A = this chain, B = another copy of it.
């Protein structure tokens, strides 16, 4: 059913149908009514693709995520779809499974006007990314990493990490272990580590090598890194940079016969949904991933529709969730 058919049925021209559908231009009341009736009767739905070709806008945005099945990513996407809906946009998901080539491929592919804007949830942003991003003609916002020159939504990783470390110190801990990730992920790998190190140093504490272990993002890494730390040192608390890592660490501890938090305390960052249902309930920093997604979406729409200033850096808040995985010494 095309606009032409509706026009014929209503006894008007296609242009008139278009005018009533889009509520612009003058249309006499009786014709408008006639058109509306036909539209109603046949449940006419305009062809969005044709509209896109004409208007050079697709009313779609692309979201590039490293791994959709992750709680973080799905919360972000929930936030994005939420504001996209009220703005009348559709969202296209590109799941890259952390493959940089895939990310770049999608960056290019999505750009040929097949979407009006892009939100990229970044882990690592390389020069290759930048090169492609610089050629993009559509707005892009980066979520999770700070990229100068591009609008970014970032989590306050440094402060969150610093404050978490400080919290542990305030609870009387001095030997604080650290489980981190590779520095290729600047936000998580570098910033969270720096927050920890700086805080330690500010309190004249020592982050010796034996207390620090670096690995991947998964629970199993948390498990292994915890054992590695235990082999070299005797922390009273361990700060894992993600909740999953913390869960792995707790299990390693339990496995070695330690009690948490009685013998060793453990904290994470992120506040996954189940954090409070863990045993012990995990003390962690609550991150507002859904809100980040919303902010990112609002930022792209602002860029798309209002030609907003590109390059703004928005920072989301975090909040300490004190639960029961830390012992006050």
A324 part of interface (Cβ distance < 8 Å):
no
Does B48 lie within 8 Å of A114, measured CB to CB?
yes
In the complex, are the beta carbons of B45 and A219 less than 8 A apart?
no
Complex CA gap A48/B60 in Å reads 13
A274 contacts B by Cβ under 8 Å:
yes
Partner of A71, one of B71, B108, B277: B71
Asked if B45 contacts A49 (CB within 8 A), the reply is no
Chain B nearest CB: distance from A69 CB in Å? 4
With CB as the reference atom, state the residue of chain B lying closest to A105: B85
Measured between beta carbons, the chain B residues less than 8 angstroms from A71 are: 69, 71, 74
Cα distance A301–B68 when bound, in Å? Answer: 21
A60-86 CB mask vs B (1 if < 8 Å, else 0) is 100000011111011101100110010
| Chain B, Cβ-Cβ closest to A73 | B74
- A47-B112, A48-B112 known; A277+B219 contact, CB < 8 A: yes
Is A230 an interface position by the 8 A CB rule?
no
Copies of the chain in the assembly: 2
Asked if A90 is at the interface of the complex by the 8 Å CB criterion, the answer is: yes
**Complex contact A69–B58 (CB within 8 A):** no
Docked Cα-Cα span, A91 to B279, in Å, equals: 38
Q: Are A113 and B81 in contact (CB under 8 A)?
A: no
Interface assignment of A247: CB less than 8 Å from any CB of chain B: yes
Instruction: Please name the residue on chain B nearest to A46 by beta carbon.
Output: B112
CB-defined A-B contacts under 8 Å, sample of 21: A43-B135, A45-B109, A45-B112, A48-B112, A49-B52, A49-B58, A49-B113, A50-B53, A68-B74, A68-B81, A69-B74, A73-B74, A77-B93, A77-B95, A78-B95, A90-B114, A91-B93, A93-B93, A251-B277, A277-B278, A278-B279
A-side interface residues toward B, CB under 8 Å? Answer: 43, 45-50, 52-53, 58, 60, 67-71, 73-75, 77-78, 81-82, 85, 90-95, 108-109, 111-114, 135, 219, 247, 251, 274, 277-279, 290
